Chains A and B, each alone.
Chain A
Amino acid sequence: ETGVTQTPRHLVMGMTNKKSLKCEQHLGHNAMYWYKQSAKKPLELMFVYSLEERVENNSVPSRFSPECPNSSHLFLHLHTLQPEDSALYLCASSQVRGLAGGLYEQYFGPGTRLTVT
């Protein structure tokens, strides 16, 4: 596997279900991200993990719970979601060089298409 992989690619869940999205990056990066992509809206940054520590939580409802056990893996645990949470959830990774400088590029996975019924 190369790049950033995400599983599952498609997920349909009821509002009372609990499920998890998985992301794995094979690029040796030290930062990982969750984004939500909805139609006609900008990509919404949800969570950022840098060096395995959460550095960003953009007022995301508690029904979304991220987990980053190591620099290569990122999970998004879902519970009691709402229909408006239906979207494409994208994972990305980058090499953060920190204040010492250097541009970074974010590499995205193919996303998980989530439908909440």
Chain B
Amino acid sequence: QQQVKQSPQSLIVQKGGISIINCAYENTAFDYFPWYQQFPGKGPALLIAIRPDVSEKKEGRFTISFNKSAKQFSLHIMDSQPGDSATYFCAASRAFGNEKLTFGTGTRLTIIP
């Protein structure tokens, strides 16, 4: 019940295209869903996060879409750029009173010219 399943494991997208990474969770108590971005040699950094009271959150070229009934959420990167090449992790937790994040396995995104 604590698992977060992430796909695909790796993704190659042409510059200017849309990158889409999907995650599914099982624990219905989860109500905080962040995405982390990790560059080689660096730790993960929070990119964008969503609570289930909204179905979509947009920050610049990054959008989280959330489907509560399906227990799925996804990250969309519009107009993908070579600088977006990194590993992306979805995560889930309870927002209140619980410090534990459950992470997906990560998606290595490569943006090609």
Task: Please indicate whether A and B come from the same complex rather than being unrelated chains.
Answer: yes
Are A42 and B9 touching (Cβ within 8 A)? no
Are A48 and B9 touching (Cβ within 8 A)? no
Interface of B is mostly: loop
Contact of B43 among A4, A31, A48, A55 (CB under 8 A): A4
Which residues of A lie under 8 Å from residue B113 when comparing CB positions?
Answer: none
Interface size on B, residues (CB 8 A): 25
* Binary contact readout A91-117 vs B (1 if CB under 8 angstroms, 0 otherwise): 110101111011111111111000000
- The reply on B13 being an interface residue by CB < 8 A is no
Are A48 and B100 touching (Cβ within 8 A)? yes
6 A-B pairs with least C-beta separation: A108-B43, A43-B103, A99-B97, A42-B103, A108-B44, A105-B46
Q: B residues touching A (Cβ–Cβ < 8 Å)?
A: 4, 9, 32, 34, 36, 41-46, 49, 51, 89, 95-97, 99-106
- For this complex, 25 residue pairs linking A to B, each with C-beta atoms less than 8 Å apart, are A33-B99, A40-B106, A41-B105, A42-B4, A42-B102, A42-B105, A42-B106, A43-B89, A43-B101, A43-B103, A48-B99, A91-B43, A96-B99, A98-B97, A102-B96, A103-B49, A103-B95, A106-B46, A106-B101, A108-B36, A108-B43, A110-B42, A110-B43, A111-B42, A111-B43
